[in-house]
Amino acid sequence: MIEVREIVKNYGSIEALRGVSFDIQPGEIVGLLGPNGAGKSTAIKIITGFLHPDAGSVSIDGLDVTESPRAAQSNIGYLSENTPLYPELSVQAYLTMMADLRALPASARIGLLSKAVYGTGLQDFLTRPIASLSKGLRQRLGLAQAILHQPRFLILDEPTVGLDPTQIIEIRGLIKSLARESTILFSSHILSEVEALCDRVIIIINGEVKADQSLRALRASDTATVVLEREDDAVASALAGMKGVSGLRRLRSADDYPAYRITSSADITPRIFALARQQNWALRELRRDSVTLETFFNQLATTA
């Protein structure tokens, strides 16, 4: 299990992380989603022990990353934004070097190397110099070094950035297959990617966790928007008191009328309509909205 507790990181006057906390349970595949500059890479560098937080702590299976970086890192495979790949080395020479650096035991080395190579589909490229590999193949090589020591946790920073659409599909497929054996945390600013791969999404905006949300629960939730002709405080308390309502937010409609967004576990619009008639609300509009990661994210981004 990964436990991130109240991590803070400043770069001079830039507050990159302002007290970020979350847990990753074994077997999960979790997306760290946020706009560019939100603090995702900083969080990942701290979790993997490559950067010290100014405050807060991270533990991996109970090992504190700052106090015992080596031991904690032995459970992690890390694909950084720019994994250092030595262009003059062949794929095979690079992976052998990484096996040395990881001090893989001689008895297991061949088996682990071939598992990483076949797992990432690099078997036909072993003698190729890294300099001659496409971006997609380099990314596969980055993944191969990350899984070489069979870590329980795979932490991937923007694994598909800079890839073409075919390569993106390929790397996503690879991540899905790796998820059968490892717990995965990856960062992305691409909503569809997170939606396609994850069980859960943690949304970071301006260095803060704005949501930690199961995607299944998100898909199962419903929202309705109620627009009124004029302000009426009784409406808000009646809506909040309705059975099945899990969230109520006050907003303005596009044409500037008072409005409420209601989140619920099922379609609640027929009951709202009945209540509005019974209570004689000055109802202007009642609408059911489907909840997608995009609408959810946009709501958070616009209220940030």
Residues that bind ligand ADP (CB under 6 A): 11, 14, 16, 34, 36-42
The per-residue DSSP string of 162-207 comes to T--HHHHHHHHHHHHHHTTTSEEEEEES-HHHHHHH-SEEEEEETT
How many other C-beta atoms can be found within 10 angstroms of the C-beta atom of residue 58?
21
- Least CB distance to ligand ADP at residue 38 (A): 4
Closest approach, Cβ 10 to ligand ADP, in A, equals 9
Q: In whole angstroms, how close is the CB of 190 to ligand ADP at the nearest point?
A: 12
In whole angstroms, the minimum distance from the beta carbon of 40 to ligand ADP comes to 3
Query: Closest approach of Cβ 273 to ligand ADP, in Å?
Result: 42
Q: By C-beta, is 38 or 178 nearer to ligand ADP?
A: 38
Query: Which lies closer to ligand ADP via its Cβ, residue 57 or residue 80?
Result: 80
**Side-chain half-sphere of 118: how many Cα atoms within 13 Å?**
6
Of 11 and 62, which has the nearer Cβ to ligand ADP? 11
Taking the complex as a whole, the smallest distance from the CB of residue 203 to ligand ADP amounts, in Å, to 11
Minimum CB–partner distance for residue 81 and ligand ADP (Å): 8
C-beta of 37 vs 121, nearer to ligand ADP = 37
HEC assignment per residue over 181-193 = CCEEEEEECCHHH
Q: Which two tokens stand for residue 253?
A: 């409609």
Q: What angle do CA 245, 227, 217 make, to 5 degrees?
A: 30
- Adjacent-strand bridge partners of 7: 20
The CA distances from residue 239 to 21, 37, 164, 221, 295, in Å, are: 32, 37, 47, 16, 21
- Quote the DSSP letter at residue 114: H
Q: How many whole angstroms separate alpha carbon 8 and alpha carbon 62?
A: 20
Nearer to ligand ADP, 11 or 166 (CB): 11
Nearer to ligand ADP, 16 or 178 (CB): 16
Which tokens belong to 134?
């496409």
Q: For ligand ADP, which is the closer residue by CB, 8 or 248?
A: 8
Q: Which of 99, 98, 101, 96 is nearest to 70 (CA)?
A: 101
Cβ closest to ligand ADP, residue 36 vs residue 166? 36
Q: Is the dihedral of CA 207, 21, 245, 34 positive or negative?
A: positive
Q: How far is the CB of 142 from ligand ADP (least distance, A)?
A: 17
At residue 254, φ and ψ (nearest 5 deg) are: -60, -35
